[in-house]
């Protein structure tokens, strides 16, 4: 079995062709200061604590073939992330879904990357001690992006387990609340690139696997899927892999995973909303399973993931034919306080 060229299919299959959109939305759409805008006009106030202190919660959902994937799971996780950081979304969950759907429709995208955040916002009276903030909602939509495209997924990615950095501990910033603290992940990625690898994986202080920049990590050993159960985001793609493994009758174990188990794995892959299932071929320069390329079970999971998504699995169809009234700013519907 071969890894399907999902990126090529999305680019060429008429099922994925863009619906009509105004030319200013070519690159995508944004929602800032309670107004819909073309993405290059989506600006953020420079004193927003989300920008200056990474004080925010966010989430990313995707659409493919015109279906929003597991929207309610993302919304549920986002509300929980806000709760863990004491942030209040100025919009209800229903309004949030409506804004995100409208952004996708404005850009006419069947395959979309859909990002949104609630930041602490700006200080109400400039007084940092009183720290009274107006939490702010921001969102944008762009064409769907694969962290690792067809070429990389077909041959498998070379990853390096970081030796210079560890993942920020849960007692510092809770990784189950999706957040803006990316410095550990970004620096480990640059470290990996310097060493000729293509992506990084981070451990905790005890050398157990946590996650990778923007991704969860899985390994397969003797037919059993293994993934960390702590120190990481509870990824929606990770959950999707649990569901697919069930369908394929593969065992799954979530638990503590010493980094060495990834080096010794038969197969491994990364998972993310931005790219789905992304096979790993090498860990610290060692080819997994003595192969040069993705393993059989990883390939099966990868292909099933995309084929089921394109058939509408766990998806909400987007109605591109019904217009939206962007002139009615959601500001009018904001809840007081």
Ligand X SMILES: Cc1ncc(COP(=O)(O)O)c(C=O)c1O
Contact flag: residue 214 with ligand X (CB under 6 A): yes
* Choice from 102, 188, 227, 273 touching ligand X (CB under 6 A): 273
Here's the x/- map for ligand X, 43-72, by CB under 6 A: it reads as: -----------------x------------
Number of residues that bind ligand X (CB under 6 A): 14
Q: Please pick, from the candidates 55, 211, 266, 267, the single residue that binds ligand X as defined by CB under 6 A.
A: 211
Secondary structure class of 180 (helix, strand, coil): coil
| Beta partners for residue 254, in sequence order | 227
Of these, 235, 289, 294, 295, which contacts ligand X (CB under 6 A)? 235
Q: Check residue 42 and report its DSSP letter.
A: -
Residue 159: partners with Cβ closer than 8 Å, 6 or more residues away: 192, 197, 198, 199, 200, 201, 212, 268, 270, 280, 282, 283, 284
Q: Does 210 interact with ligand X (rule: CB under 6 A)?
A: no
Residues 10, 14, 15, 19, Cα dihedral to 10° = 100
With respect to ligand X, which residue has the nearer C-beta, 271 or 298? 271
271: contact with ligand X by CB under 6 A: yes
* Interacting residue with ligand X among 30, 159, 201, 215 (CB under 6 A): 215
Q: Is 314 in the site for ligand X (CB under 6 A)?
A: no
Q: How far apart are CA 210 and CA 37, in angstroms?
A: 37
Residues in contact with 21: Cβ distance below 8 Å, sequence separation at least 6, in sequence order:
106, 107, 108, 109
| Piece in contact with ligand X (CB under 6 A), picked from 6-14, 103-111, 194-202, 235-243 | 235-243
Angle 93-107/71-84 helices, nearest 10 degrees?
Answer: 130
Q: Which of 159, 168, 192, 236 binds ligand X (CB under 6 A)?
A: 236
Task: Report the residue number whose CB is nearest to ligand X.
Answer: 235
Q: How far is the CB of 242 from ligand X (least distance, A)?
A: 11
Element (H, E) at 211: strand 209-211
Point out which residues pair with 116 in neighbouring strands.
59, 139
- Verify binding: residue 119, ligand X, rule CB under 6 A: no
Tell me: does residue 272 bind ligand X (CB under 6 A).
Answer: yes
Q: Which listed residue (233, 257, 280, 330) binds ligand X by CB under 6 A?
A: 233
Q: Which region, judged by CB under 6 A, interacts with ligand X, from 201-209, 221-229, 265-273, 327-335?
A: 265-273
Positive or negative: CA dihedral 239, 240, 244, 245: negative
What minimum distance in Å lies between the beta carbon of 305 and ligand X?
11
Give the whole-angstrom CA distance, residue 26 versus residue 109: 9
Sole binder of ligand X in the list 237, 281, 297, 298 (CB under 6 A): 237
Residue 103 near residue 2 (C-beta atoms within 8 A): no
For the CB of residue 76, give the shortest distance to ligand X in the complex, in Å.
12
Contact positions toward ligand X, by CB under 6 A?
A: 60, 211, 214-216, 232-233, 235-238, 271-273
């Amino acid at each position: 079995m071969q890894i399907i060229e999902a990126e090529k299919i999305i680019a060429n299959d008429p099922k994925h062709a863009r619906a009509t959109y105004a030319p200013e939305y070519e690159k995508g759409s944004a929602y800032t200061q309670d107004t819909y805008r073309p993405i290059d006009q989506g600006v953020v106030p420079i004193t927003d604590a989300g920008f200056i202190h990474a004080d925010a919660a966010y989430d990313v959902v995707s659409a493919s073939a015109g279906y929003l994937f597991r929207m309610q799971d993302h919304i549920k996780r986002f509300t929980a992330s806000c709760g863990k950081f004491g942030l209040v979304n100025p919009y209800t969950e229903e309004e949030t879904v409506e804004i995100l759907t409208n952004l996708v429709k404005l850009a006419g995208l069947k395959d979309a990357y859909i990002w949104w955040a609630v930041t602490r916002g700006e200080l109400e009276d400039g007084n940092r001690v009183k720290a009274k903030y107006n939490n702010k909602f921001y969102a944008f939509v762009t064409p769907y992006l694969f962290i690792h495209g067809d070429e990389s997924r077909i041959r498998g990615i070379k990853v390096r387990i970081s030796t210079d950095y560890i993942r920020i501990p849960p007692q510092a910033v809770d990784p189950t609340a999706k957040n803006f603290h990316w410095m550990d992940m970004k620096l480990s990625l640059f470290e990996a690139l310097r060493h000729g690898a293509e992506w990084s994986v981070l451990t905790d202080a005890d050398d157990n696997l946590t996650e990778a920049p923007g991704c969860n990590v899985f390994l397969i050993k003797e037919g059993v899927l293994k993934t960390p159960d702590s120190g990481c985001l509870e990824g929606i793609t990770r959950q999707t892999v649990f569901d697919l493994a069930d369908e394929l009758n593969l065992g799954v174990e979530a638990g503590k995973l010493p980094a060495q188990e990834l080096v010794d794995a038969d197969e491994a892959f990364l998972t993310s909303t931005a790219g789905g299932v992304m096979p790993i071929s090498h860990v610290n320069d060692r080819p997994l399973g003595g192969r040069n390329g993705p393993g059989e079970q990883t390939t099966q999971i990868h292909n099933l993931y995309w084929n089921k998504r394109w058939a509408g699995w766990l998806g909400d169809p987007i109605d591109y034919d019904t217009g939206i009234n962007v002139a009615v700013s959601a500001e009018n519907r904001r809840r007081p306080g």
